[in-house]
Amino acid sequence: MGPLSGLRIIEIDGLGPVTFAGMVLADMGAEVLRLTRGGGAPAAVFDEVGGEVLHRGRTAVPVDLKSPEDRDRVLRLIESADALIEGFRPGVMERLGLGPETCAARNPRLVYGRVTGWGQSGPMADQVGHDINYIALSGALHPMGAGDRPPSPPLNLIGDYGGGAMMLVSGVLAAMLEAKTTGRGRVVDAAMTDGSALLTSLFHALHARGLWSDQREANLLDGGTPFYRCYACKDGEFVAVGALEPRFYAALITGLGLTPDEAPQFDRENWPALQARFAALFAARDRDDWAAHFAGTEACVTPVLTLTEAADHPHNRARGTFVEAGITQPAPAPRFGASAASVRAERPIRPLDEALADWKGRTSLRA
């Protein structure tokens, strides 16, 4: 049982951040009902890209939100829910008759979590977009990638998941905690532009002090230094070097067979030449050879692993970072106590009437 055991959350099925947020909440023990589209719901359980992992731990309940009968049943579910999460564009839930005010009238304690790209307000609130657009506007995309090329999208980890889903999860948890004291829920407006902007807080602080340039690959954490970047190895694989602190840098250059006089750490004018020298050294041996060479040192050198390799790394195996549940997939995180987290598989599709009767027949544990 996870720390959210006993809490009931309704997830209005969608793509991207709301699906990931539903997975995280279910991983933490919440009882999450994923309300899917009516007619195509049976196929939608696993047919969505990533569904076999991202839908884990909760039941799919087919509904037709445009049907007055189904909408009334959903409102009755809401009476017993602690939170609802949805990822539609602004106004869609209101047009379906399931907006925050309507739901609050049925359940004043309900926390209503909304995740969108641009937010519930602002001149771009109704515009379409994707992760790359949201992080572009927030300033999070510009620092990514090589200095002589266009910015490189960091998958959809910053907008959809970091700035969207995880901000939604933290906001919903905070509001549910408050509701236990006040008896009143809140509307959580999680915009991916807001969240991804928040993730850049450190770089705004550095920029204000003149310690961060708008030039890509010219700064401390963007690959601009020879001691914080990736290098190609003889076999075409890569190592990641993160020797920021002088002590760790000393271990790095010792491992590379260099002396402090040959490789001063903070001589910025010499960084391009030093980077080229490091590159030549790393290119002389295979990735795993370098990993073994630096193992147990403070040089902060690690192999850059593929998704498949990561699941098989001894450290990840020892911690149970990945699990086998139908397919290899990341285990729930964070941990609560010493025991390894386990994955709850996708539960069978349930009819709406059956789900409603079950919720109404059990006492909520939220009080």
Pick the CATH number of 228-314 from 3.30.1540.10, 3.40.50.1000, 3.30.530.20, 3.40.109.10: 3.30.1540.10
Q: Is 210 left (phi over 0), alpha (psi -120 to 50) or beta?
A: left
pTM of the full structure: 0.93
Q: Is 308 left (phi over 0), alpha (psi -120 to 50) or beta?
A: alpha
For 38, 80, 187, 191, the CA distances from 106, given in Å and listed in that order, are 23, 9, 15, 26
User: Is the confidence at residue 366, as pLDDT, over 60?
Assistant: no
Question: 130 an active-site residue?
Answer: yes
Contacts with 129 (C-beta within 8 Å, 6 or more apart), sequence order: 117, 118
Cβ pair 40, 180 in contact under 8 A: no
52-55-57 Cα angle (round to 5): 110
Interhelix angle for 352-361 vs 68-78, to 10°?
A: 30
Report helix, strand or coil for 145: coil
Cβ pair 140, 117 in contact under 8 A: no
Contacts with 250 (C-beta within 8 Å, 6 or more apart), sequence order: 260
Of 195 and 327, the one with more pLDDT: 195
Amino acid letter for position 208: A
323 burial (CB, 10 Å; 0-12 / 13-18 / 19+) is middle
Interhelix angle for 17-27 vs 166-182, to 10°?
A: 60
CATH domain 8-199+332-361 topology: Rossmann fold (3.40.50)
Residue 135's nearest CA partner among 90, 201, 189, 192 is 192
Contacts with 23 (C-beta within 8 Å, 6 or more apart), sequence order: 53, 54, 55, 56, 57, 58
Distance CA 292, CA 315 (A): 14
- Annotated active-site residue in 13, 70, 131, 160: 160
Intrachain domains 8-199+332-361 and 228-314 with the same fold: no
The domains of the chain are located at 8-199+332-361, 228-314
Which residues face 239 on adjacent strands?
A: 231, 303
Question: 126 an active-site residue?
Answer: no
Q: If you average pLDDT over residues 100-119, what whole number do you get? A: 98
pLDDT at residue 49 in the model:
65
For 59-77, the pLDDT digits (tens) are 999 999 999 999 999 999 9
Confidence class of residue 47 from pLDDT cuts 50, 70 and 90?
Answer: low
- Annotated active-site residue in 130, 207, 293, 313: 130
Query: Which contacts qualify for 357-360: CB closer than 8 Å, 24 or more apart?
Result: 359/8, 359/33, 359/77, 359/80, 359/81, 360/76, 360/80
Confidence class of residue 325 from pLDDT cuts 50, 70 and 90?
Answer: confident
Distance CA 23, CA 6 (A): 16
User: Is the confidence at residue 43, as pLDDT, over 60?
Assistant: no
The DSSP call for residue 121 is S
User: Is the confidence at residue 364, as pLDDT, over 90?
Assistant: no
Per-chain mean pLDDT for the chain: 93
Confidence class of residue 309 from pLDDT cuts 50, 70 and 90?
Answer: very high
Contacts with 321 (C-beta within 8 Å, 6 or more apart), sequence order: 310, 311, 315, 330, 331
For 180-212, the pLDDT digits (tens) are 999 999 999 999 999 999 999 999 999 999 999
